[in-house]
Structure 1
Amino acid sequence: MTAAIALAGCGHTVDVVERNRDWSVTGWGLSLTGPSLRALQRLGLADACIDGGFGLTQISNCDSAGRTRNVIDLPLLLGPDMPALAGLSRGVLHEVLRDAALARGAVLHTGMSVAALEQAADGVTARLTDGSARHVDLVVGADGIRSTVRDMLGMPAEPAYTGQMVWRAIVPRPGWATTLHTFAGPVHNAGLIPISQDQAYAFVTENHADSGVLPQEELAERMRDLLNVFSGRVAEVAATIKDPELVVRRPVHAGVVDGPWHRGRTVLIGDAAHAPSPQMVSGAALAIEDSLVLAEELGLHDDVETALEAFGRRRLERCRLVVETSVKVGELEREGRHAEAHKLQDRCHQVMAQPI
């Protein structure tokens, strides 16, 4: 969506092909860090996202009883009077982005995907699953961690399972939840992120987890079981996790395509090219930044492939740093080395604050 907004805003004709028929989203909430908000501000959308969510300026890292052990002051990239980070529901974010894409003139198609790509010197023919075909100047594969476009391009970069499982649940926001909280447990880690005045999402990062699927009706009880070793504030939140339909459980995969993210006039962006684990809460930031940089480079070069090469040069090392840092932080968490993990997170956030 941000790619569609950025490209349409530069005068390109944009069609978005979405597999889901109803724009349904996976998961409940997410965090837009400072780099995310900075990029969204350039698209004119930061205020709408902040207003639709909950603005934050700090990360409070706590022990299993809820005692604060470390506070990270996040860079205020939008200025001293604006939040450094916003938590919000995925549904609110997608609504903001859909409205903006439509307002910029992008055409949105649902219930279809790309079945095949045929590269040519003057463009790409995309054959779609509804039987139609489009000859276009550029195809942008923004189709996530299990990207089919990546497979079509022959890029061997299947993200690896990190050994962690993330559980998330929508809960009422406690009055004390005005920062992003993390809680270091003896085996697993937990956290809470406000996404509105009334709601937050709680998460548990389960270490050494079996990646198999569990019955949906068991998820709330099992998530509470994982939180039994926590006390204080976490126990307060755990008691409110009751509806299994409000719990999602996902394996953590991470990886980066090492080297050109394009073949001919088809390019990967977002998780299709670089998927960090959630420890750096920066997957959205990288994807939105990709969109802006791609639009910029297409405006700077007459030749599409030259623009795509320049795009990759600007993005690869920054994205690789976030992916590798996120994986390292996960390893430190599994080893119980939380102080080291927090320092590494803080350093990476400072690097991310630099201009794209």
Structure 2
Amino acid sequence: MGLSVLVVGGGIAGLAHAVAARRAGHEAEVLEVRPGWEAAGWGLSLTGPALRALRTLDLADACAEAGHPVHRTVHCDAEGVVRAVVEPPSVLGPGEPVEVGIGRPALHRILREAAAGLGATLRTGVSVASLCHEDGQVTARLSDGSARTPDYVVGADGVRSRTRAQLGLDVEPRYAGQMVWRALVERPDWASDVHVFAGASGTTGVIPISARQAYVFLTESAVEARPAPESELARRMRDLLAPFGGRFADVRDTITDPAQVVRRPVHTLFLTGPWHAGLGVLAGDSAHAPSPQMVSGAALAIEDAVVLAAEVTARPDALPEAFEAYQRRRHERARAVVETSVEIGRRERQGRHDEVRALHQSGHAAMAAPI
């Protein structure tokens, strides 16, 4: 007989766990506090480990078809002169992409449709008001006044997780001193792979996410985490990108509509203590949030979802032990990604770009190890 899980948070980790749980024969309900399924941001990179985890859910091919396969990363200086080309072996095997660039809305749609198609219940506009553990049972009281008594609760509600606080698991996100910018653009013909441009003023790049689209990313360092007027976003991003020339300048000059641009502060965290309390357990950014420099946040989230489902399925009558086994498998891997991403950000701010590339290579090589 299967278990029942209440998943708090309809992002990557939460939806992926709902898919994994349903495939294992468990009941799953996902709660998303936002009234819709809007995805924050334009795109992301599904690295090899992310694709490997998605393959266990039979979703890797769908993501590859919806996105754009990437086989190498081209590192350039601020004028667009190529300084290094990195062609790591594919985690999926010879001939397979190293990663896939994909729009966040496309990835969320694929996960959401897979979860619903497998019979998971998906609800929006509702949150968990309180969690109560009593007599070996967990009761979740929801914001609409209803209650749930699942076998376990997964907190997948992000870096500022309310579930983490409700479980008494204490850690505060730390602002990394950087803002990340993303702009959706038409994909130039030359951007069939990831291109990174590094200069004295920072780092930017172009990541393809479909046959027609790409996104430009920019890391702004040594800046306070203050919001900017939406009407100024496009102009301010172009100003920050002004030091970058060559063919990248043509892409930069297409960033004219503020609706193209999102700007977010970089927050990191790593929960050093237990990731679980009672019958509640954390996954994804709720437990460990790297900065985007390692482009591995999605990979960690999907791996968490898969490993957690495997461990609770193996120990359905001993869930605390299953949670401990899950954390043992995930702890050091997640810690290394978070710490490496923070170090990359520090060296970026110091202009030590050659060292940044070396950290990228070692970090991704470690992530290639089996989960």
Length-normalised TM-score, structure 2: 0.95
Secondary structure of 1:136's counterpart equals coil
Structure 2 match to 1:327: 342
Aligned pairs (5 A) from 1:27-38:
27-38=41-52
- For residues 288 and 216 of structure 2, what CA distance do their matches in structure 1 show? 25
- For residues 34 and 272 of structure 2, what CA distance do their matches in structure 1 show? 29
Structure 2 match to 1:69: 83
Aligned residues: 356
- For residues 227 and 130 of structure 2, what CA distance do their matches in structure 1 show? 30
What's the CA shift for 1:121? 4.1
Secondary structure of 1:71's counterpart equals strand
What's the CA shift for 1:74? 2.9
Closer/same/farther in 2, CA of residues 74 and 114 from structure 1, 3 Å limit:
farther
Aligned pairs (5 A) from 1:67-106:
67-106=81-120
Query: Pick from 273, 277, 285: which aligns with 2:299?
Result: 285
1:267 and 2:285 are equivalent in the alignment: no
Could you tell me which runs of 5 or more consecutive residues in structure 1 were left unpaired when the two chains were aligned: none
Query: Root-mean-square deviation (CA), in Å?
Result: 0.9
- For residues 123 and 83 of structure 1, what CA distance do their matches in structure 2 show? 45
Query: Pick from 218, 224, 234: which aligns with 2:248?
Result: 234
Structure 1 match to 2:324: 309
Structure 1 match to 2:66: 52
Structure 1 match to 2:10: none
- For residues 88 and 127 of structure 2, what CA distance do their matches in structure 1 show? 38
Aligned pairs (5 A) from 1:15-30:
15-30=29-44
Question: Which segment is superposed worse, 66-75 or 92-101?
Answer: 66-75
- For residues 173 and 124 of structure 2, what CA distance do their matches in structure 1 show? 26
Work out whether residues 29 and 87 of structure 1, in 8 Å CA contact, stay in contact via their aligned partners in 2: yes
Structure 1 match to 2:211: 197
1:138 and 2:149 are equivalent in the alignment: no
- For residues 130 and 163 of structure 1, what CA distance do their matches in structure 2 show? 38
Structure 2 match to 1:211: 225
Work out whether residues 297 and 307 of structure 1, in 8 Å CA contact, stay in contact via their aligned partners in 2: yes
Work out whether residues 276 and 324 of structure 1, in 8 Å CA contact, stay in contact via their aligned partners in 2: yes
1:344 and 2:371 are equivalent in the alignment: no
What's the CA shift for 1:49? 0.3
1:169 and 2:183 are equivalent in the alignment: yes
What's the CA shift for 1:81? 2.2
What's the CA shift for 1:179? 1.2
The residue type equivalent to 2:49 in the other structure is P
Structure 2 match to 1:109: 123
Secondary structure of 2:27's counterpart equals coil
Give CA deviations for 1:230-266 in whole Å, capped at 9, x if unaligned.
1112211110101101100000011100021000110
- For residues 101 and 134 of structure 2, what CA distance do their matches in structure 1 show? 43
The residue type equivalent to 2:269 in the other structure is G
Work out whether residues 122 and 137 of structure 1, in 8 Å CA contact, stay in contact via their aligned partners in 2: no
Secondary structure of 1:36's counterpart equals helix
What's the CA shift for 1:154? 2.0
Work out whether residues 75 and 350 of structure 1, in 8 Å CA contact, stay in contact via their aligned partners in 2: no
- For residues 135 and 234 of structure 2, what CA distance do their matches in structure 1 show? 53
Secondary structure of 2:149's counterpart equals strand
Length-normalised TM-score, structure 1: 0.98
Q: Which structure 1 residue ranges, 4+ long, deviate > 6 Å from structure 2?
A: none
Identity %: 54
Work out whether residues 34 and 353 of structure 1, in 8 Å CA contact, stay in contact via their aligned partners in 2: yes
Aligned pairs (5 A) from 1:2-21:
2-21=16-35
Work out whether residues 169 and 274 of structure 2, in 8 Å CA contact, stay in contact via their aligned partners in 1: no
